[in-house]
Amino acid sequence: MKILKLSKDKLDFFASVLQRFGEVHAPVEDNGEFVFRRLARWSEARLDYQRTILPLKKYFLPPRETLLEYRPGTGYVPAERDLEARLVLFGVHACDIYALNILDRVFTGRYADPYYETRRRNIAIIGIDCRPDERCFCRSMRADFVDRGFDLFFHDLGDAYLTIVGTALGDDMVLATGPLFSPVTAADIEEYKRRSAGKRAAFRLEVEIRDLPEIFEMEYDSGIWDELGERCLSCGSCSVVCPTCYCFDVHDEVELAGNGGRRVRTWDSCLFSTHALVAGGENFRKSRASRIKFRYYHKQRGFVAEYGRPSCVGCGRCIAACPVGIDITQVIDTLRGVLHAGPQ
Amino acid sequence: MNPSGKTILIIDDDADFAEALGAALEAAGFRVLRARDGHQGLKLAKLEAPDLVLMDIIMSERTEGFFAIQEFRRTPSLASTPIFVLSSLYDAVADFRVAPEAGWLAHDAFFSKPVDLEELIRAIRQRLGLNAAVREGTG
């Protein structure tokens, strides 16, 4: 592992040279919120951002994409446009990188998704430190630190970034920028450790995930699910903003003239009333309570059984997005019988 | 007057430099447009479709030109418009030593300021196919 230092006053030049490796996207402010977007100029980047509205899955699993097109005579033609676009995502928080590592298990495992895999290969990730706010509980979900899934990671040292080189591509980026980077000193390492401890101490929201799958198992018939079902609007906001919710729907759009069509994949949500609707009209999760219960069980229990850890990374987006104030940490605490004193 | 039939867009926040350069280009037979930053330059270029762009780097932001070049390149009507960079970048930022030829800058030529006007105009004419003798001379 290579660890270097980059002075903050050189960051703009580093970002400029990165354009060799792809279109540079970074968090920018938009109406008081933050979104990842292509930079038209360096000053648009807001590396001090809190969470973005949408997570990075929008780059790897777009909200809507054409998978293939079909025409009479030529048959099916894969739609591969834009797949090969090379991007550099600059300023990604650890929890969002962790989320991508989780999505990798789903989309690059036994049933590999070539669209996702290609984008993952062509999109570079540059991580950056963050400070937790009142909705962050990534430390509880063990996602406040990542040791893989990025090409470079910048840890704030005050006037410089301690830079972890994560991949050969990251090393190429460092080499391409010539003398911009310098070796770390003993003082830099001490400062890194001091700030790292400070970040750990800054978390105000915590949940206990130890034995959580067992608690879920025991509370399968708890009345809390009906109570949540009464509050939940089934709007799907929580799953849209979740960095690891990956449910999608696939449908064919046939051109009215009958000369072909396309197969389209769009984001779906297990909160939607049609999510478990199958041919013949049967719906396996008719009630809102059953749908929100399914979402919690999939993320906190089913995913553990399949992949060894919950798929939640504690980014806090679902808490911020829920229009009726359903808070996952409070749900977990209620299941555990813990009186919650967190933010309302 | 535009005897050459070619339009050059100068994007530079140094009004005096842009004025002097523009006058020299007009004297050489070009139509000249001027913009003071990348945003204005891109807007003007979309309207006027210049034959060649002369781009400064350090403007209201010191990396503005880098990003402005990317904006040109991703605009279909301007993607292949030649861009010559005119900048004092390597003098102004001593510790930035990544050569423009390293492949990270989607430009066509780089000239360090102060620019040799004769050399620049020769290069422009060559790039726009206005000077057969020079083209043959440089292979």
Helix (H) / strand (E) containing B133: helix B132-138
CB contact under 8 A, A41 and B38: yes
Cβ pair A20:B104 closer than 8 A = yes
Which pLDDT value is given to residue B92? 81
Are A88 and A26 a contacting pair, CB within 8 Å? Answer: no
Q: Chain A closest CA to B112's CA: distance in Å?
A: 17
Check residue B1 and give its pLDDT.
63
Tokens of B109: 């030529």
Strands of A23-30's sheet in order across: A33-38, A23-30, A87-92, A123-128, A152-156, A160-165, A2-7, A181-183
- Cα-flanking dihedrals φ and ψ of residue B2, to 5°? -150, 65
The C-alpha of B57 sits at a distance from chain A's nearest C-alpha, in angstroms, of 11
The neighbouring-strand residues paired with A267 are A248
- Check the CA dihedral B32-B33-B36-B41 and report its sign: negative
Which residue from A minimizes the CA distance to B107? A20
Q: What six digits make up the tokens of A248? A: 């999608």
Q: Phi, psi at residue B89, to the nearest 5°?
A: -45, -50
User: Of A23, A56, A123, A39, which Cα lies nearest the Cα of A83?
Assistant: A123
Residues for chain B: how many in total? 139
| Interface predicted TM-score (ipTM) | 0.83
Specify the DSSP element, H or E, that contains A186.
helix A186-202
Contacts (Cβ under 8 Å, ≥6 apart) of A51: A34, A93, A135, A136, A315, A316, A317, A320
Q: What is the pLDDT of residue A339?
A: 56
C-alpha gyration radius of chain B: 14
Cβ pairs bridging A and B (under 8 Å)? 58
d(CA B86, CA B112): 6
User: Which strands form A248-254's sheet, in the order they lie side by side?
Assistant: A75-78, A64-71, A261-267, A248-254
Interchain proximity A41–B61, CB inside 8 Å = yes
Q: Does A175 touch chain B (CB under 8 A)?
A: no
Question: Cα separation of B73 and A49, whole Å?
Answer: 28
Total Cβ atoms within 10 A of residue B77 = 10
From chain B, the residues in CB contact with A18 under 8 A are: 104
**Sequence-distant (≥ 6) Cβ neighbours of residue A123 within 8 angstroms:** A22, A59, A60, A86, A87, A88, A89
Reading the block at residue A179, the tokens are: 């003398």
pLDDT digits (tens, 9 = 90+) for A296-316: 999 999 888 888 899 999 999
Mean pLDDT of all residues in A82-90 = 89
Q: What is the DSSP string of B14-73?
A: -HHHHHHHHHHHHHTT-EEEEESSHHHHHHHHHHH--SEEEE-SSSSSTTHHHHHHHHHH
Please, what's the largest Cα pairwise distance for chain B? 43
Minimum distance, in Å, between the CA of residue B116 and any CA atom of chain A: 26
| Structural contact between residues B109 and B86, judged by C-beta atoms closer than 8 angstroms | no
Task: Decide if B71 touches A, using CB distance below 8 A.
Answer: yes
- CA pair distance B116, A25, nearest whole angstrom: 36
Asked if the Cβ–Cβ distance from A180 to B38 is below 8 Å, we say no
Which ranges of chain B have pLDDT less than 70?
1, 131-139
Q: Do B97 and A12 touch (CB under 8 A)?
A: no
At residue A282, does pLDDT exceed 80? yes
pLDDT at A172: 94
Q: Does A31 touch chain B (CB under 8 A)?
A: no
- C-alpha angle A85-A5-A138 in degrees, rounded to nearest 5: 65
Q: Using an 8 Å CB-CB cutoff, list chain A residues near B55.
A: none
Q: Are A329 and A137 in contact (CB under 8 A)?
A: yes
Residue B64 C-alpha, separation from nearest chain A C-alpha, in angstroms: 6
Cα Rg of chain A (Å, integer): 22
- In chain A, residues with a C-beta closer than 8 Å to the C-beta of B92 are none
DSSP string of B107-126, one letter each residue: -SEEEESSP-HHHHHHHHHH
**8 Å CB contact of B64 and A176:** no
What confidence tens digit (pLDDT) does each residue in B77-114 have? 999 999 999 998 888 887 787 887 777 788 889 999 99
Q: Is A151 helix (H, G, I), strand (E, B) or coil?
A: coil
A interface mutation test: which of B11, B71, B93, B95 has the most A CBs within 10 A? B95
B104, A176: Cβ pair inside 8 Å? yes
pLDDT at B126: 94
Q: Which of A7, A10, A12 to mutate to test the interface with B (most CBs of B within 10 A)?
A: A12
pLDDT higher than 90, residue A179? no
Mean pLDDT of A158-162: 97
**Smallest Cβ distance to B63: which of A42, A179, A180?**
A42
Largest CA distance in chain A: 70
Which chain B residue has the Cα nearest residue A13? Answer: B63
pLDDT at A80 over 80: no
Q: A42 vs B67: CB contact, 8 Å cut-off? A: yes
pLDDT at A77: 87
Alpha-carbon span A24 to A253, nearest angstrom: 33
In contact, B83 and B108? CB cutoff 8 Å: yes
Cβ atoms of A161 and A188 within 8 Å: the answer is no
User: Who's near A286: CB < 8 A, 6+ residues apart?
Assistant: A273
Beta bridge partners of A5: A162, A182
Report yes or no: B56 at the A interface, CB cutoff 8 Å: no
Phi, psi of B127 (to 5 degrees): -65, -35
Q: Do B98 and A12 touch (CB under 8 A)?
A: no
- For A22, nearest residue in chain B (alpha carbons): B104
pLDDT digits (tens, 9 = 90+) for A326-342: 999 999 999 988 655 44
Q: What does the block give as tokens for A240?
A: 């849209």
Instruction: Report how many helices (DSSP H) and strands (DSSP E) chain A contains, helices first.
Output: 13, 12
CA distance A153 to A91: 8
Of the candidates A267, A18, A280, which has an alpha carbon nearest to the alpha carbon of residue B103? A18
By residue count, chain A amounts to 344
Probe site for chain B from A7, A11, A13, A82 (most B CB atoms < 10 A): A13
Q: What is the rounded average pLDDT of the residues A113-138? A: 95
Question: What does A152-167 look like in DSSP terms, one character per residue?
Answer: EEEEE-SSEEEEEE-S
Of B61, B70, B96, the CB nearest to A19: B70
